[in-house]
């Protein structure tokens, strides 16, 4: 079956979403559900996946089913729910700190959580830790993103969530907040911002990630994993019998005719812009099942010939479809990005928020009609933290040991440094605004981060337990399947 493209030509994104209207009128679209909470969650998930539901409801259903396999995956896939809740007035979570006006216009990563921290090899050959996912990047209130990051640590406290008392997660959340505050207040406008590389400050957990990235990147493991060499030809290692696998399985698929034509148009544009660097196109593959929130998005690989006649320097480019930036990050401002400009938005945010001048020489955006894509070099030098590995490392007494504290503080520091690097929405440095905002009661800010993160961890975990029942998540897709 050919890929069913969904055109958004001429459509501007909606400039505001009323959470009140969602709560008041949103329940009806989800069919019969046992309680209002489930109905609200289902409605919000449907709204956040509306474009993809219109294209292929089965792929959205596969995403929701994958989310119900693990509470952290549910957390990753429900950022829209998180931000709707934390800005809802009845929760009473207003900023606890100093002046907040300018600090509500900070350039945000968009979805800061522990699995969006990873390694990059910069042009100078230094391996560094950075945030690595900017699909939802935009301007908004910095404290909302601190809350999100801190909640990702609470979600690691599985035992505490089971007991409805994530005390260990609350400690981790506090260290995230303190790491953020320290990085902001220690920054000096006259000095360059520090970067985090494998210099011992990352502790054992980040140290293990660096070691993996160094080993796998140097050995070109991405080529060994995704391709095979037959004679003097390298080609993709496509999955055998993909029709027998669940639609959410992580597989490399033979592209459809539409996907192949799309990839060939992109390759032609790349070759035209830089013919000396772009080697011959050796193959195209579609990646199914990668990511969580972006799982239904089109993602494919281009296999390019390297500069030499050998096969050792072949390379893979990942091309990822981008959709509209979610509005829930900044409910007070509109967003005038149109669909075809999303690639430029994401690339600009990555360049502004990361510490190195350039962490990926292939980073770029591309558009095809109203479809937008981000390009990157697919390399194992870019390795990301895995929540299951972190949970395993932090079991038992290690949960509150120095390595746990160091990781949480580094995560907060990395987020602060990202926010400090990029200009405000209105222009100018974000440093004075963030320092004024955090110059008030330090403990009040930390305590609020802990309160919000603990409560949102409990709510997220409760939602996960509701929807992991067989068929519960699929029910959110039923109204679209009938269309």
Place of tokens 């320097």: 313
Q: Domain spans of the chain?
A: 214-378
Q: What is the rounded distance in angstroms from the CA atom of residue 87 to the CA atom of residue 112?
A: 17
How much is the pLDDT for 159? Answer: 94
Report the alpha-carbon angle 398-401-405, nearest 5: 120
Q: Can you tell me the distance from the alpha carbon of 61 to that of 273, in angstroms, rounded to the nearest whole number?
A: 39
CB contact at 8 A, 53 and 137:
no
* pLDDT value for 47: 87
The per-residue pLDDT for 99 is 66
Write the DSSP symbol of residue 32. Answer: S
Q: What is the pLDDT of residue 457?
A: 98
- What pLDDT is attached to residue 354? 93
Please report the pLDDT score of residue 11 as a whole number.
29
Residues paired with residue 287 on neighbouring β-strands, in sequence order: 252
Q: Rounded distance, CA 116 to CA 411, Å?
A: 10
Let me know the angle formed at the C-alpha of 195 by 316 and 112, rounded to the nearest 5 degrees: 65
pLDDT of residue 91: 79
pLDDT at 333: 56
In the 8-state DSSP scheme, what is residue 239? P
Whole-angstrom CA distances from 121 to 290, 293, 357, 385 are: 22, 25, 11, 15
C-alpha–C-alpha distance, residues 124 and 249, integer Å: 37
Low-confidence ranges of the chain (pLDDT < 50): 1-33
Q: What is the pLDDT of residue 440?
A: 85
Contacts of 346 (CB under 8 A, 6+ apart): 134, 135, 137, 322, 365, 374
CB neighbour list of residue 163: distance below 8 Å, 6 or more residues apart = none
Burial of 145 (0-12, 13-18, 19+ CB in 10 A): buried
Give ∠ CA 459-461-467 in degrees, rounded to 5.
Answer: 100
CA 456/CA 443 separation, integer angstroms = 20
C-alpha triplet 59, 61, 65: angle, nearest 5°: 120
pLDDT at 94: 83
How far separated are the first and last CA of the chain, in Å rounded? 18
pTM of the predicted structure, to 2 decimals: 0.90
């Amino acid at each position: 079956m050919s890929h069913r493209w969904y055109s958004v030509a001429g459509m501007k994104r909606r400039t505001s979403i009323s959470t009140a209207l969602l709560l008041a009128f949103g329940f009806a679209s989800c069919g019969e559900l046992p309680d209002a909470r489930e109905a609200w969650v289902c409605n919000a998930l449907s709204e956040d996946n509306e474009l993809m539901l219109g294209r292929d409801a089965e792929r959205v259903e596969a995403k929701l089913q994958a989310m119900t396999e693990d509470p952290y995956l549910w957390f990753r896939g429900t950022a829209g729910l998180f931000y709707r809740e934390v800005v809802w007035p009845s929760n009473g979570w207003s900023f606890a700190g100093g002046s907040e006006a300018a600090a509500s216009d900070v350039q945000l990563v968009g979805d800061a959580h522990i699995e969006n921290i990873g390694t990059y090899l910069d042009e100078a050959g230094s391996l560094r830790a950075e945030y690595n996912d900017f699909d939802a990047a935009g301007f908004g209130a910095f404290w909302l993103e601190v809350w999100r990051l801190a909640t990702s640590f609470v979600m690691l406290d599985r035992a505490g969530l089971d007991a409805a008392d994530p005390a260990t997660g609350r400690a981790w959340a506090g260290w995230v907040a303190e790491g953020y505050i320290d990085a902001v207040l220690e920054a000096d406008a006259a000095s360059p911002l520090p970067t985090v590389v494998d210099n011992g400050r990352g502790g054992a957990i980040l140290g293990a990630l660096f070691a993996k990235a160094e080993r796998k990147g140097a050995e070109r493991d991405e080529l060994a994993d995704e391709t095979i060499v037959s004679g003097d030809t390298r080609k993709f290692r496509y999955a055998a019998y993909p029709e027998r696998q669940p639609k959410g399985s992580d597989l490399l698929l033979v592209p459809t005719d539409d996907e192949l034509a799309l990839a060939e148009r992109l390759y032609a544009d790349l070759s035209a812009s830089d013919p000396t660097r772009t080697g011959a196109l050796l193959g195209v593959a579609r990646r199914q099942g990668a990511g969580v929130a972006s799982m239904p998005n089109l993602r494919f690989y281009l296999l390019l010939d390297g500069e030499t006649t050998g096969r050792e320097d072949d390379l893979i480019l990942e091309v990822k479809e981008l959709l509209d930036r979610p509005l829930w990050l900044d409910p007070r401002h509109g967003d005038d990005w149109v669909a075809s400009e999303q690639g430029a938005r994401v690339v600009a945010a990555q360049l502004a928020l990361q510490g190195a001048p350039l962490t990926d020489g292939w980073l770029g955006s591309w558009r095809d009609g109203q479809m937008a894509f981000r390009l990157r070099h697919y390399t194992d030098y870019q390795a990301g933290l895995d929540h299951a590995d972190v949970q395993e490392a932090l079991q038992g007494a290690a949960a509150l040991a120095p390595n746990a504290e160091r990781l949480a503080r580094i995560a907060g520091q990395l987020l602060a440094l990202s926010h400090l690097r990029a200009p405000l929405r209105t222009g100018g440095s974000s440093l004075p605004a963030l320092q004024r905002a955090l110059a008030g009661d330090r403990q009040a800010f930390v305590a609020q981060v802990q309160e919000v993160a603990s409560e949102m961890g409990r709510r997220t975990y409760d939602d996960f337990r509701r929807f992991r029942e067989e068929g519960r998540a699929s029910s959110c897709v039923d109204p679209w399947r009938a269309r």
